[in-house]
A and B are shown apart, each in its own frame.
Chain A
């Protein structure tokens, strides 16, 4: 106990802490993101090239779409562990449908359309099942979706015989995995190797889903109910909130989002690896949500933070490749960032 400290409580620390408290919960992740990008940009200017940055967001868009759904689920006070396995199963089912419907004689787009509908439908059905088990069956979300995590992966590898689902015949399916070339961005038109900048469709989908999720959460009755249930399910029941319906809807939405992510994933690789596709993606999505400041117990958080979290995780992975770090070590860095993010939030919380 110093004499100086006796008279004046540590004013500087206190005022910093109070400023920290008034910051939005995703600010820590945003600051980390900018710092990381600035430092990497200094050491490796290629990092900041539009193509590389586009690449990062494109890479993350699959997990990003799922993470938007995961944000709803976690704010609701739940969790969904089944999304990674579901991504493989739904994507695989879509490719099977594509191959079955593909006919060189007729229009390819109808088969592709059906493949997409099947993928989305499998996602939606699995989500509904989770929702009903949790809301009507009274099974804890962790357990109900853990069942899906195990079962869907197994079903996918079983159907694919442990291997991959390949697109047979259709050539246009993979076109969906590309993007829009932006005219006029061909910086050196004389050089035939420099192609115009391409904005991938998946980024547009990710942005669209993030906006949609944000509107849903902040501007609709559904979103308000999600927060209310996350804060206190009992109080929501006592306020005549249709708790079961909202829960089922939320798990159905993340299932649908996973179906959409499965479409992005399958069109990108033109195949689905039954054993690896979406592996551990549930954990990455949860990590992104938590890094983005959404409270794990539910009741607070938002989509913007999740988007920042998703991109931060992508940047970390990319930076390690760029700077030539051991790629197997990326998990260690991510783990540290996740814990740091949560500690930062705790610091910011009152009392």
Chain B
């Protein structure tokens, strides 16, 4: 029964995973060599996460075989997978905030003496494992006191403490700063030299190329190709991911109009926003750059009435000269200001409801009279699904079953429904695959060409540079400078955003 395979530490054959109505994995075969760093890339919905969840015992495959170190196995639970030395570091970290680092590392495997938890031994052992990841963290402190990067190290230490020899990392750099990223990469190469096999999932092709030995590209639940990282290029990977050549990435942008649409004057919401003033013209795409915590989201929320404006009068927001009520999201929306939240799952969309219900949530009044016209609602949703090419089986499909890019399109559709005059897009392409990104760019360009004002908040400078007429740079809750498209560059923006010395900011 048991076949012995050589060399590969994990061998997957013809893996199929079906969810109701969707075939998330469609016959994937893949072998992972012992001790390699193996990158998995693909658009959202390509099947990366499903594959990794099967390997870590979260999902059971519909059919297909998995062999670990040459032995056929059934990974029925995370615990099972752990028994075979497989551990997954999830994108959302799974630590208990109120427990200490040491207690977290040994959660569920407490070290006991006389049936009582042995705190001293726990801390000593935890320190030993933290050492392996070279984390200067006191095992006695509570997890809540740690930065996200530190928490990630604790997760890795925890995985190593279970003698895991295969680590699956799902978008580990998504939450890290540049410097933290570098030390993570150092850690990965150290772990590799100790014989740990690493499966590395990421959207960032440059990262994958930098740290992986081999890279597997997935698309539509299938494995497209596995390449040696040395022979691969970003361009090649991107082409394999979307299945076509990526031409000119950003659409042409029409010139902005001259009429001032939105006038923001000395808007304050301490401690995050201090006296921000700017103007937005008709048809203009105004970018907002800044580091995390610079106050961009908070300023947007203050404009949209979602965050209290206070401190030195709170400032004013006028749309075509009409003052917009502070602290009233309903007034802002009624006047034509739409805010697409960066927090898609928590704030932007209502998980648990269908696509159509989400699309019409803001504009529901239109489909009532006084009873809901479900038919008309569905028709409207179908229209958006078609126009924005949302991949959904039916307008009543639950939103959480859509991929990130399609969810984002639904969130955009919800705001297009109210025909906004000003559209504030907060990180609209975050967690969205390459194809959907391009579609979102085209949509923004089109909305601006129609004469709407667009505020585009993003942490990806290339897209701001490629899309915006002007870019405001924020730091410490203030707009420190506004750059024209012609003068802006990544270096210049970063200097202002970080407040580099010698810069007049």
Rounded to whole angstroms, the CA-CA distance of A221 and B370 in the bound complex is 8
Could you say which of B20, B352, B371, B414 contacts A239, with CB atoms under 8 Å apart?
Answer: B414
User: Chain B contacts of A232 at CB under 8 A?
Assistant: 346-347, 350-352
Digit string of A1-15 for contact with B (CB within 8 Å is 1, else 0)?
A: 101001001000000
Chain B residues near A241 (CB-CB < 8 A)? 361
A219/B347 in contact, CB under 8 A: no
Quick check: which of A187-195, A223-231, A317-325 contacts chain B, the rest being far away? A223-231
Whether A221 lies near B365 (C-beta < 8 A) is yes
Please give, as numbers and ranges, the residues of chain B lying within 8 Å of A235 by CB-CB distance.
346-351
B43 close to A (CB within 8 Å):
no
Whether the pair B361, A228 counts as a contact (CB closer than 8 A) is yes
> Among the listed B339, B353, B364, which residue makes an inter-chain contact with A238, where contact means beta carbons less than 8 Å apart?
B339
Say yes or no: A228 contacts B1, CB within 8 Å: no
Type the 1/0 row for B25-36, where 1 means its CB is closer than 8 Å to any CB of A. Answer: 000000000000
Whether a CB of chain A sits under 8 angstroms from the CB of B323 is no
* Range class of the B interface residue count: 20 to 34
What is the 8 Å Cβ interface bit string for chain A, positions 224-260, against chain B (1 contact, 0 not)? 1101100110111111111000000000000000000
- Rounded to whole Å, the gap between the CB of A156 and the closest CB of chain B is 37
Give a binary string over B15-26; 1 marks a CB under 8 Å from any A CB, 0 the rest.
Answer: 000001000000
Q: Mark B312-332, 1 if CB is under 8 A from A, else 0.
A: 000000000000000001101
Q: How many angstroms between the C-alpha atoms of A221 and B339 in the bound complex?
A: 22
The reply to whether the CB of A220 lies closer than 8 angstroms to some CB of chain B is yes
Determine if A300 is an interface residue (Cβ-Cβ < 8 Å): yes
Cβ 8 A contact of B353, one of A1, A215, A227, A242:
A227
Q: Assess the B372–A236 pair: CB atoms within 8 A.
A: no
**Is the C-beta of A110 less than 8 angstroms from some C-beta in chain B?**
no
A161 contacts partner chain B, Cβ-Cβ < 8 Å:
no
Q: Given A239-B361, A300-B352 in contact, is the A219-B20 Cβ separation under 8 Å?
A: no
Q: A220-B372, A228-B361, A236-B350 are in contact. Are A1 and B74 (CB under 8 A)?
A: yes
**Contact call B370/A220, Cβ cutoff below 8 A:** yes
- Within the assembled complex, what's the spacing in Å between the Cα atoms of A242 and B362? 10
A220 to B357, CA, bound (A): 12
A225→B339 CA distance, assembly (Å): 19
A238–B74 touching, CB < 8 Å: no
Enumerate 20 A-B pairs (CB-CB under 8 Å) in ascending A order.
Answer: A9-B62, A215-B371, A218-B372, A219-B371, A220-B370, A220-B371, A220-B372, A221-B370, A223-B372, A224-B361, A227-B353, A227-B357, A228-B353, A232-B346, A234-B347, A235-B346, A235-B349, A237-B329, A238-B347, A239-B350
Chain A's closest residue to B301 (CB) is: A238
Shortest CB-to-CB span from A241 to chain B, Å, is 7
- A18-B368 Cα distance, complex, nearest whole Å: 35
B489 interface residue per 8 A CB criterion: no
Flag whether A299 is at the interface (Cβ < 8 A).
yes
Which A residues are in CB contact (< 8 Å) with B364? 221, 224-225
Cross-chain contact of B351 among A6, A221, A231 (Cβ < 8 A):
A231
Residues from chain B with a CB closer than 8 A to the CB of A223 are 372
Query: Closest Cβ of chain B: how far from A280's Cβ, in Å?
Result: 31
* Closest Cβ–Cβ distance, residue B348 to chain A (whole Å): 7
Inter-chain contacts of A238 with B (CB < 8 A): 306, 329, 339, 341, 347-348
Interface residues on A, range: 20 to 34
Contact with B along A84-102 (1 / 0, CB 8 A): 0000000000000000000
Query: B333 at interface (Cβ–Cβ under 8 A)?
Result: yes
Q: Mark B331-361, 1 if CB is under 8 A from A, else 0.
A: 0111000010100001111111100010001
Asked if residues B362 and A240 are in contact (CB atoms below 8 Å), the reply is yes
Partner of B329, one of A3, A221, A231, A240: A240
| CA A232 to CA B301, docked complex, whole Å | 18
* Chain B residue contacts of A236, Cβ below 8 A: 350, 361
Q: With A and B bound together, what is the CA distance between A240 and B329 in angstroms?
A: 6
CA separation between A239 and B362, bound complex, in Å? Answer: 5
Instruction: Confirm or deny: B60 has a beta carbon within 8 angstroms of a beta carbon on chain A.
Output: yes
CB closest chain-A residue, reference B58: A351
- B416 CB to closest chain A CB (Å) equals 13
Return the CB mask of A281-314 against B: 1 if under 8 Å, else 0: 0000000000000000001100000000000000
A6 in contact with B353 (CB, 8 Å): no
Residues of B within 8 A of A299 (CB): 352-353
Q: Which residues of B contact A220 (CB under 8 A)?
A: 368, 370-372
Q: How far is the CA of A21 from the CA of B365 in the complex (A)?
A: 33
The reply to whether A240 and B372 contact each other, CB–CB distance below 8 Å, is no
CA distance A9 to B347 in the complex (A): 39
Asked if residues A6 and B370 are in contact (CB atoms below 8 Å), the reply is no
Tell me whether A228 and B357 are in contact (CB under 8 A).
yes
Inter-chain pairs besides A219-B371, A221-B372, A239-B362, 14 sampled, C-beta below 8 Å: A3-B1, A6-B74, A9-B60, A9-B62, A21-B20, A220-B371, A224-B372, A228-B350, A228-B357, A231-B351, A231-B352, A232-B350, A232-B351, A238-B329
Give chain A residues whose Cβ lies under 8 Å from the Cβ of B341.
Answer: 238
Closest to B20 in A: A18
CB neighbours of B74 from chain A (8 A) = 1, 6
Q: Are A242 and B361 in contact (CB under 8 A)?
A: no
